[in-house]
């Protein structure tokens, strides 16, 4: 049970966490923090938070759990602002989509509370942003990956784990480096591809016509290209090496596919598509929740 939860960045991810914990009765009081007071007022109107402050140093006062839920490139500055003010019994975590960069930022800035900072990443989201898009069920049945620091105690990790489990999430642990490779492959690459495809089509001469006839397949494939460009810019910069590695591999496979199509190699084309269909059918059945 959390007494006073401080969420810095009350958007889709931070707002949904607060909603879920309040709905489950897992926290007594929530203070939200952000830069724009209008967003925070809206969050209070929606019942997502009880009170707010635009000053991170002030917001963390008296908190026993602090969740930093701002874009990746804003993490370090938030850590710097809160470090001298984190209560001695408070646990901190974050929700950033890449983990090695957050760990580096925390090591540079969290002098007094590094051992109580447990990095995390909920593997849940939508293409929408802001507190209006938040909802209590976002984490239900989804995974949350924690990438604990060697300085973390079992008790500290346990407090962050319990918070996420209260939202209905399934919590797992791995190293930051492994997290960043896996997420580059399963999340970051698909977002890059969706943005790239829509961008290519949108600056073709007849783009209006292309989009007019776009049907279900196009919508399914490109939904995530409606995600926040700033967030995805940050993710690409902060997980650059792992993204480049899988992008190179994908480009090479795509070159190969192009060759197969240009040669009208029906057998190979069918083989590649069948292999992909089998793999997808198998994994959607196995990991359907
Ligand atoms: P979001 O809806 O845009 O929310 C971000 C919040 O952070 C906003 O409320 C914004 O409010 C605040 N903010 C931005 N810069 C700030 C700063 N410098 N100091 C304090 N507050 C600041 O974004 P989100 O989707 O919740 O993403 C937040 C984090 O979750 C990111 O690190 C992202 O990598 C991670 N994440 C996202 C998803 C997803 O699918 N969206 C999934 C998993 C993890 P103000 O503008 O009022 O400051």
- Mean pLDDT in residue range 51-74: 97
Q: Which atom of ligand 1 is nearest to the CA of 37?
A: 47
CB 123 within 8 A of CB 145: yes
pLDDT of residue 266: 98
Q: Which of 154, 174, 194 is the last residue of a domain?
A: 174
pLDDT class of 287 with cuts at 50, 70, 90:
confident
**Same domain as 69, residue 10:** yes
CATH for 67: 3.40.50.720
| Angle, CA of 120, 123 and 124, to the nearest 5° | 125
**Same domain as 79, residue 43:** yes
**Same domain as 209, residue 155:** no
Q: Which of 121, 147, 174 is the last residue of a domain?
A: 174
Domain span at residue 241 reads 178-287
Separation between Cα atoms, residue 283 and residue 30, nearest integer Å: 38
- Residue nearest (by alpha carbon) to ligand 1 atom 40: 125
**Same domain as 98, residue 204:** no
**Same domain as 158, residue 225:** no
- Residue nearest (by alpha carbon) to ligand 1 atom 15: 70
* Mean pLDDT estimate for the chain: 95
**pLDDT tens digits along 108-155:** 999 999 999 999 999 999 999 999 999 999 999 999 999 999 999 999
CB 52 within 8 A of CB 39: no
CB 65 within 8 A of CB 86: no
CATH for 256: 1.10.3660.10
**Same domain as 263, residue 161:** no
- Residue nearest (by alpha carbon) to ligand 1 atom 11: 34
Q: Which atom of ligand 1 is nearest to the CA of 98?
A: 34
**Same domain as 233, residue 279:** yes
Number of helices (H), then strands (E), belonging to the chain: the values are 13, 9
**Same domain as 153, residue 20:** yes
Q: Residue 227: name the closest of 203, 198, 252, 253 by CA.
A: 198
Please list every protein residue whose CB sits less than 6 Å from any atom of ligand 1. Answer: 8-14, 34-36, 39, 69-72, 74, 77-78, 95-97, 121-122, 125, 129-130, 228, 231
- Cα of 95 to ligand 1 centre, how many Å? 9
Q: Which of 113, 140, 174 is the last residue of a domain?
A: 174
Q: Angle of helix 240-262 relative to helix 189-202, nearest 10 degrees?
A: 60
In the predicted structure, residue 41 carries a pLDDT above the cut 80: yes
DSSP SS3 for 142 = coil
- Mean pLDDT in residue range 191-214: 87
- Residue nearest (by alpha carbon) to ligand 1 atom 4: 11
**Same domain as 276, residue 162:** no
Q: Which secondary structure element, helix H or strand E, spans residue 170, and what is its range? A: strand 170-173
In the predicted structure, residue 205 carries a pLDDT above the cut 80: no
Q: Which residues contact 120 (CB under 8 A, 6 or more apart)?
A: 93, 94, 95, 144, 145, 146, 147, 160, 164
In the predicted structure, residue 213 carries a pLDDT above the cut 80: no
- Cα of 159 to ligand 1 centre, how many Å? 22
In percent, the amount of the chain with pLDDT more than 70 equals: 99
According to DSSP, the β-strands at 120-122 and 143-146 are antiparallel
Q: Which atom of ligand 1 is nearest to the CA of 43?
A: 9
Tell me the pTM. Answer: 0.94
- Cα of 33 to ligand 1 centre, how many Å? 11
- Residue nearest (by alpha carbon) to ligand 1 atom 42: 125
Count of domains forming the chain: 2
């Amino acid at each position: 049970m959390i007494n006073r939860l401080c969420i810095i960045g009350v958007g889709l991810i931070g707002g949904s966490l607060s909603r879920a914990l309040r709905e489950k009765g897992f926290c007594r009081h929530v203070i939200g923090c952000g830069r724009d007071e209008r967003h925070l007022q809206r969050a209070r109107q929606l019942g997502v938070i009880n009170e707010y402050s635009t000053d991170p140093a002030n917001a963390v006062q008296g908190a026993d759990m602090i969740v930093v839920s701002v874009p990746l490139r804003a993490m370090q500055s938030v850590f710097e602002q809160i470090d001298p003010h984190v209560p001695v019994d408070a646990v901190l975590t974050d929700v950033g989509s890449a983990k090695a960069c957050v760990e580096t930022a925390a090591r540079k800035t969290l002098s007094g509370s590094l051992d109580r900072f447990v990095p995390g990443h909920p593997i849940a989201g939508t293409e929408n942003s802001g507190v209006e898009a938040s909802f209590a069920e976002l984490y239900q049945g989804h995974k949350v990956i924690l990438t604990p620091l060697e300085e973390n105690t079992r008790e500290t990790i346990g407090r962050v784990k319990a918070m996420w489990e209260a939202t209905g999430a399934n919590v797992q642990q791995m190293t930051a480096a492994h997290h960043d490779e896996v997420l580059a492959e399963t999340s970051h690459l698909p977002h890059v591809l969706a943005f790239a495809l829509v961008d290519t089509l949108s600056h073709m001469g007849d783009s209006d016509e292309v989009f007019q006839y776009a049907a279900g397949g196009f919508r399914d494939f490109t939904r995530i290209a409606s995600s926040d460009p700033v967030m995805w810019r940050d993710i690409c910069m902060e997980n650059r090496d792992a993204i480049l590695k899988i992008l190179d591999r994908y480009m090479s496979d795509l070159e190969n596919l192009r060759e197969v199509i240009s040669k009208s190699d029906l057998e190979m084309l069918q083989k590649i598509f069948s292999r992909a269909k089998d793999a997808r059918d198998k994994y959607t059945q196995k990991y359907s929740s």
